[in-house]
Amino acid sequence: MSLNINNFKSQLVDGGARANLFRIILNFPAYADGNVEKASFLCNAGRIPGAQVGIVEVPFRGRTLKLPGDRTFEDWTVSIYNDAEFDVHSAFVRWQDGMNGFSTNTGFTNPETMFADIRVQQLDRQENVVKEFLIEDAWPTTLGDIELNYDQQTAIEQFDVTFAYLQWTSVDTTGQV
């Protein structure tokens, strides 16, 4: 195949995947009482998660044989617009408070109580889900600060939430991994 612009263009089916056509479904544990639909609407930035396969190095007679090791998953962060009622922000505060109370330094001990699954969906131009990633057993490690500034007269507040999680899996549109 010749590497020309027409062949390149033919490979970008439907104009290519667009970074602004996505939906992130932020689920919450029951005790956090989070509004999933509102959180999904206000989630304005995120990423399709990545993964890394570690390296096991085995020395042998002056050489190092590199073998694939364990798969690891980096923490994952989303940015969220703040609503005037602080509904979504407050749900994340409750979630973290259930894991480790602000004043008590205690929390739930059953991981099933603290975790929630998150879905990252890539959409086409008709808002159909073309690819989905399931982030399993997630929990918020960091609830970012909200910048306040007199100079930002036309900006909506935003905050970041960083999650640790067990793993992610890629799910096609028929529900198969």
Q: What number is the average pLDDT over the span 103-127?
A: 91
pLDDT attached to residue 25: 97
| Residue 106 placed within a domain | yes
Residue 155 structural domain: 15-171
Report the pLDDT value the prediction gives residue 127, as an integer from 0 to 100: 92
Q: Does the pLDDT at position 1 exceed 70?
A: no
The total number of structural domains in the chain stands at: 1
Is there a domain that residue 10 lies in?
no
* Cβ 78 vs Cβ 25: under 8 Å: no
Q: Which pLDDT band holds residue 174 (cuts at 50, 70, 90)?
A: low
pLDDT of residue 176: 55
Question: What is the band of 130 on the pLDDT scale with cuts at 50, 70, 90?
Answer: very high
DSSP helix/strand/coil, 63: strand
pLDDT for 118 beyond 70? yes
Mean pLDDT of 80-98: 96
Phi, psi of 70 (to 5 degrees): -80, 150
pTM of the model: 0.88
Which domain CATH number covers 38? Answer: 2.30.110
Residue type at 2 in one-letter notation: S
The alpha helices in the chain, defined as continuous H runs, are 5-11, 36-42, 87-99, 111-114
Domain-located, residue 177: no
> For residues 14 and 136, which has the higher predicted lDDT (pLDDT)?
136
Answer whether residue 8 is part of any domain.
no
The answer to which of 81-85, 106-110, 134-138, 152-156 has the lowest mean pLDDT is: 106-110
Mean pLDDT of 40-63: 95
